[in-house]
Amino acid sequence: MNKRTNGMIAVLLAVILVLAACGGNSEGQPSNAGSTGNTDGAAGQTAELKPYELTVAFLSIGQIKDLPEVQAEVNKITQAKINATVKFLPIDIGAWQQQMNLMLAGNEPLDILVTSTGLNFGTQAAKGQLVELDELLEKYGADIQKVVGGDVIKAGSSGGKIYAVPSVRDWAADYGLVMRKDIVDKYQIDVDAIKSLDDMTAVFQTIKDNEPGMAAVLPEGPSFSVIQSIVGSVIDPLGDENGVLVGFDGELKVVNWYETPEYASLVKKARDWYNAGFIPKDISTNQTTSEQLIKANKAFAFMAHMKPGYESKESLLAGTPLVAARISPAISTTSSIANIMFGIARNSKDPERAMMFLNLLYSDAELVNLIDYGIKGKHYEVKEGNIIGFPAGVDSSNATYNPTHGWMWGNQLLSHIWEGDSADLWTKLDEFNNSAVKSKALGFSFTADPVKTEVAAVQNVKDQFKIGLENGTLDPESYLPEYIAKLKSAGMDKIVAEKQKQLDEWAAANK
């Protein structure tokens, strides 16, 4: 009897919960819509557009104390041009995944959001949480299509439809070694002569022989391996490195990267360097960034994937001049483009207006500068030509608007250049992007959902072996075969097959 009552109570509770959830949804929506009204109508060309408030979620990185002031200025522009106001919603990277999932699932007011392969773009597109952009781009995105043309914009597609537009920044990377200039000069190392990993070996030997206590080479950072930073010069990772294209001009044949002779020779090289003492013994437990280790006189160089202006920036971080030896041309893949994009949320009540705003981000220099650097005269001052810097008495420690997020907002090439970078940075960057070797599969993005289980299992195996093998701490003689065997039993072949299938479909659709 008692048990029965308990059971009934449980059922009753469940029903109440379900009802409450439904009630919440239907009651919640109208009250949300109410907040989107705006009474400050603008006359003129926008008369036919009703006032609308766009909620724009972005990654909050730097100092944004004065965001409300900047937002007010932004609204002056957007009200005049598209009769919309913008409500910025900064979300910290630590809270992003959690809050964004909940906001999308909870159907909260949200129009535009930052997305990327690393921030669940694939899942968001597959789940229908993002709006298809093809038609909207056709109608309202002329300037976006002008700047982000052809193959590049396809990086933000899923299943043949475009769901997000990439920001204009470094869409490619070149690969090589970044070294301390003082040491390079001391031993008269010819930087231009370093063209391969073998050339590097000789340089490392010099350092090892003459500079005790200094590591010859490091990875790009604690979460990277020495090999990781230059792998991009050999393969197109097709997103997650599970199934890759080797080389950039061959046919579209997906292979298991870890089984290839190229991979075997790379990890053998890493092992040789490790055994020779070029890579520090404690590399697998290191948590300190390479720049700091260089600053502390503990290292000579690190592997890196780079872009124009990379050395000058790294020199600031390391506190000593650095020079770079590039061993590959710039290479552009879907992954390097789909790093940061803007999408329109399904929650949006007015996707067309959202697209109009996105279009402004690719065409209106005033708007881009406002968002990137703040209000002229208050947050920055024009120093010379296109170069800007902090006003007198302001530096990065007391700045009230220093968001450092130019790479996120639309067309960065429209913005000023912060002092410290060369005045032709954007020209160089544009050339860099245009001259980059384009992967055959540029524009293809893999949807991992059909093989989700396998991807997770493979990831576990990778966590166990990958960094150790690629830093030389594990002997490839015995561990590489074990790694490959475990990957296979985790379902790597199935992922490769699925990727090949999707790639073939993509290729057929793009012929």
Partner 1 sequence: MASRKDNLFQICIHAFFIILALMCLMPFALLLTTSFTSEASIVKEGYSLMPSQWSLEAYRFLWSDIDNIARSYGITILVTLIGTFVGLSISALLSYPMSRRDMPMRKQLAFYVFFTMLFNGGLVPTYIIYTQVFDMKNSLLALIIPGLLTNGFFVLIMRTFFQNSIPHDIIESASIDGAGEFKIFFRMILPLSLPILATIGLMQTIGYWNDWFNGLIYITDSKLFSLQNLLNRILLNAQFIQNNASTLNAGEVSNASIPLETVRMAMAVIGVVPLLCAYPFFQKYFVKGLVIGAVKG
Which tokens belong to 196? 């391969």
| Partners of residue 176 on adjacent β-strands | 304, 326
* Nearer of residues 28 and 247 to partner 1, judged by Cβ: 28
Q: How far is the CB of 7 from partner 1 (least distance, A)?
A: 10
Chain centroid, CA 69 distance in Å: 28
Q: How far is the CB of 474 from partner 1 (least distance, A)?
A: 23
* Nearer of residues 300 and 418 to partner 1, judged by Cβ: 418
The single-letter code of the amino acid at 266 is L
* Nearer of residues 312 and 500 to partner 1, judged by Cβ: 312
Which tokens belong to 390? 């902090």
Chain centroid, CA 90 distance in Å: 17
Q: How far is the CB of 299 from partner 1 (least distance, A)?
A: 10
Characterize the bridge pairing of strands 84-92 and 161-162. unpaired
Contact present, 416 and 383 (Cβ < 8 Å): no
Q: How far is the CB of 28 from partner 1 (least distance, A)?
A: 3
Place of tokens 């600053």: 295
Q: How far is the CB of 26 from partner 1 (least distance, A)?
A: 10
Q: What is the dihedral of CA 205, 210, 213, 214, to 10 degrees?
A: -60
* Nearer of residues 291 and 454 to partner 1, judged by Cβ: 291
* Nearer of residues 436 and 490 to partner 1, judged by Cβ: 436
State the DSSP H helix or E strand holding residue 57, giving kind and residue range, or none if neither. Answer: strand 52-60
**Strand spans (E) along 157-272:** 157-158, 161-162, 164-166, 174-180, 235-236, 245-246
Contact present, 290 and 219 (Cβ < 8 Å): yes
* Nearer of residues 104 and 203 to partner 1, judged by Cβ: 104
Instruction: Round to whole Å and give the CA distance between 113 and 107.
Output: 13
Instruction: Round to whole Å and give the CA distance between 327 and 229.
Output: 12
Give SS3 for 331. Answer: strand
* Nearer of residues 23 and 277 to partner 1, judged by Cβ: 23
Instruction: Round to whole Å and give the CA distance between 231 and 247.
Output: 11
Residues counted in the chain: 511
Contact present, 194 and 178 (Cβ < 8 Å): no
* Nearer of residues 109 and 141 to partner 1, judged by Cβ: 109
Q: How far is the CB of 217 from partner 1 (least distance, A)?
A: 17
Q: How far is the CB of 459 from partner 1 (least distance, A)?
A: 18
State the DSSP H helix or E strand holding residue 438, giving kind and residue range, or none if neither. Answer: strand 437-438
Q: How far is the CB of 113 from partner 1 (least distance, A)?
A: 13
Instruction: Round to whole Å and give the CA distance between 394 and 178.
Output: 32
* Nearer of residues 67 and 82 to partner 1, judged by Cβ: 67
State the DSSP H helix or E strand holding residue 84, giving kind and residue range, or none if neither. Answer: strand 84-92
Q: How far is the CB of 49 from partner 1 (least distance, A)?
A: 28
* Nearer of residues 40 and 463 to partner 1, judged by Cβ: 463
Q: How far is the CB of 24 from partner 1 (least distance, A)?
A: 4
Q: How far is the CB of 466 from partner 1 (least distance, A)?
A: 17
**Strand spans (E) along 142-188:** 157-158, 161-162, 164-166, 174-180
Q: How far is the CB of 411 from partner 1 (least distance, A)?
A: 15
Cβ–Cβ contacts within 10 Å for residue 19, how many?
10
* Nearer of residues 49 and 59 to partner 1, judged by Cβ: 59
* Nearer of residues 263 and 380 to partner 1, judged by Cβ: 380
Instruction: Round to whole Å and give the CA distance between 440 and 95.
Output: 36
* CA end-to-end span of the chain: 70
